[in-house]
C-alpha cells in the first residue's frame, strides 16, 4: 500500500525547510564560534552585567512607554472614524521601514539639544535627552512602538465591538467599557504586542547609538556592547556577548510565552 507523505505538498515543504535553515544557520554559526570555556568568566565581567542590566531595564521601560502611548493610539485607529486616519496609520508604520539609524538622526533633529522640541526642553527645563538613559528608552520606544500599535490594533479590530455595546446597555461609559471590557478582551493581543515590542527594544541598536550615543553604564546597551567589542577586533568577545543576549532574551520570551501567549 502506498503511503501519502503526510499530505504536505513538496512546493510548500521545500521552501519551508529552506526558510527554517536560513533562519537557524546564522545561530548555528554563532554557537559554533562560541568559546564555551570562557563563557562564564565573560558573563561575570562587570561591563557585561552592566550592559545586560541596562538593556533589560531600558527595554522594559520602553515597553511600558509603548503600552501607555500605543494602546490608546491603537484604540483610536481601530474604533474612531476621523479624517486622515489612513494617513495616521501609514505614519505609524514609518519607523518600521525607516532604517533605525535614520530614526536616530530624526530623533536628534527633533529631541536633540538643537532639535525642534529638544532645544525648547533644554532652554526651558535644562533637559537634554541625548547621551542619557532616558534617551536610550526614547530611541527604543520609537522603533518598538509600531509593533505594539499594529498588533493591538489588529486585536481590537478582531474583537467584537458588540461586547462594548452590551456594556453600554448595562450603564458603562465608553471609558469604563474600554477598561472593563475591551482591554480584557484584547489582553492576549496586547501581551503579544508588548512581547514583540520588548524584543524589538532589546535588540535596538541603530537609533540608540545615533541618538543616545555609547557610554558604558549610561547608554551602552548589550547590542552596542556587542558592536563595540566587535569593532575593537575582539570577535570572540562579541560572540560571547551576543550569545548572552540571545540566551537571556529567548529565556524571557519563552517564560512569557508560557504565561501569556498560550492561554487556553
Partner 1 sequence: MPPESSTTGRICCPATVISVKRLLRSTVAGLAVTLTASLAACGSGSGSGSEAGRPVTVFAAASLTESFTTLGDRFEAAHPGSTVTFNFGGSSALATQINEGAPADVFASAAPANMAAVTDAGTPATFARNQLVIAVGKGNPKGVTGLAALTGPRLKVALCAAAVPCGAAATTAIAAAGVTITPVTLEQDVKAALSKVRLGEVDAALVYRTDAKAAAADVDAIEFPESARAVNDYPIAVLTGARNTAGGQAFVDYVLSPEGLRVLTDAGFQAP
Partner 2 sequence: MSLLDAALRVERGSFRLDIALSVAAGETVALLGPNGAGKTTALRALAGLTPLTGGHLRLDGRDLTEAPPEERPIGVVFQDYLLFPHLNARDNVAFGPRRHGVDRRAAHAVADRWLERVGLTGYSRRKPRQLSGGQAQRVALARALAVDPVLLLLDEPLAALDARTRLETRGELRRHLAAHPGAALLVTHDPLDALVLADRLVVVEQGRVVQEGDAATITARPRTDYVARLVGLNLFRGHGEGHTVRLPDGFTLATADPVHGDTFVAFPPAAVALHPTEPTGSPRNTWPAVLADIQRHGDSLRVSLDGPITVAADITPAAAAQLRLEPGVEIWVALKAAETRAYPAD
Question: Is 35 a binder of partner 1 (CB under 8 A)?
Answer: no
C-alpha cell at 33: 564560534
Least spacing, CB of residue 249 vs partner 1, in Å: 17
What backbone phi and psi angles, to 5 degrees, belong to 201? -65, -40
| Nearer residue to partner 2 within complex by CB, 123 or 179 | 179
Which of these ranges, 97-105, 124-132, 155-163, 228-236, lies near partner 2 under the rule CB under 8 A? 155-163
Question: Is 213 a binder of partner 1 (CB under 8 A)?
Answer: yes
| Nearer residue to partner 1 within complex by CB, 108 or 143 | 108
Q: Which does 231 bind (CB under 5 to 8 A by kind): partner 2, partner 1, none?
A: partner 1
Cα gap 53→56, rounded to integer Å: 5
Least spacing, CB of residue 164 vs partner 2, in Å: 10
Least spacing, CB of residue 183 vs partner 2, in Å: 9
Residue 202 makes CB contacts below 8 A (sequence gap 6+) with 55, 56, 59, 222, 245, 249
Selected from 172, 214, 246, 248, the binder of partner 1 by CB under 8 A is 214
Question: Is 19 a binder of partner 1 (CB under 8 A)?
Answer: no
Least spacing, CB of residue 60 vs partner 1, in Å: 23
Question: Is 131 a binder of partner 1 (CB under 8 A)?
Answer: yes
* φ/ψ bin of 83: left (φ > 0), alpha (ψ from -120 to 50), beta (otherwise): beta
Query: By CB under 8 A, how many residues form the interface with partner 1?
Result: 31
Question: Is 230 a binder of partner 1 (CB under 8 A)?
Answer: yes
Q: Which does 166 bind (CB under 5 to 8 A by kind): partner 2, partner 1, none?
A: partner 2
Question: Is 227 a binder of partner 1 (CB under 8 A)?
Answer: yes
Least spacing, CB of residue 240 vs partner 1, in Å: 14
Provide the binding-site residues for partner 1, judged by CB under 8 A. Answer: 26, 29, 99, 101-102, 105, 108-109, 112-114, 130-131, 205-206, 209-210, 213-216, 218-220, 227-228, 230-233, 235
Provide the binding-site residues for partner 2, judged by CB under 8 A. Answer: 160, 162-163, 165-173, 176, 180-181, 184-185, 187
Amino acid at each position: 500500500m502506498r503511503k501519502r507523505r503526510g499530505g504536505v505538498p513538496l512546493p510548500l515543504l521545500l521552501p519551508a525547510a529552506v526558510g527554517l535553515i536560513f533562519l537557524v544557520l546564522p545561530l548555528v554559526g554563532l554557537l559554533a564560534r562560541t568559546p564555551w570555556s570562557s563563557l562564564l568568566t565573560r558573563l561575570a565581567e562587570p561591563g557585561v552585567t552592566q550592559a545586560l542590566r541596562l538593556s533589560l531595564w531600558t527595554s522594559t521601560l520602553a515597553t511600558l512607554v509603548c503600552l501607555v502611548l500605543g494602546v490608546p493610539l491603537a484604540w483610536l485607529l481601530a474604533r474612531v472614524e476621523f479624517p486622515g486616519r489612513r494617513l495616521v496609520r501609514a505614519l505609524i508604520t514609518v519607523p518600521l521601514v525607516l532604517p533605525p539609524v535614520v530614526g536616530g538622526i530624526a530623533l536628534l533633529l527633533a529631541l536633540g539639544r538643537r532639535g525642534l522640541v529638544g532645544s525648547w526642553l533644554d532652554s526651558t527645563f535644562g533637559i537634554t535627552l541625548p547621551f542619557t538613559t532616558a534617551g536610550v528608552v526614547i530611541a527604543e520606544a520609537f522603533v518598538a512602538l509600531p509593533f505594539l500599535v499594529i498588533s493591538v490594533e489588529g486585536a481590537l479590530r478582531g474583537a467584537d465591538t458588540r461586547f462594548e455595546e452590551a456594556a453600554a446597555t448595562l450603564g458603562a461609559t465608553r471609558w469604563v467599557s474600554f477598561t472593563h471590557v475591551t482591554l480584557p478582551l484584547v489582553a492576549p493581543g496586547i501581551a503579544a504586542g508588548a512581547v514583540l515590542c520588548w524584543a524589538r527594544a532589546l535588540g535596538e541598536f541603530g537609533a540608540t547609538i545615533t541618538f543616545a550615543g555609547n557610554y558604558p553604564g549610561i547608554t551602552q546597551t548589550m547590542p552596542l556592547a556587542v558592536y563595540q567589542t566587535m569593532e575593537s577586533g575582539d570577535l570572540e568577545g562579541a560572540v560571547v556577548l551576543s550569545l548572552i543576549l540571545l540566551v537571556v532574551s529567548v529565556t524571557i520570551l519563552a517564560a512569557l510565552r508560557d504565561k501569556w501567549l498560550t492561554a487556553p
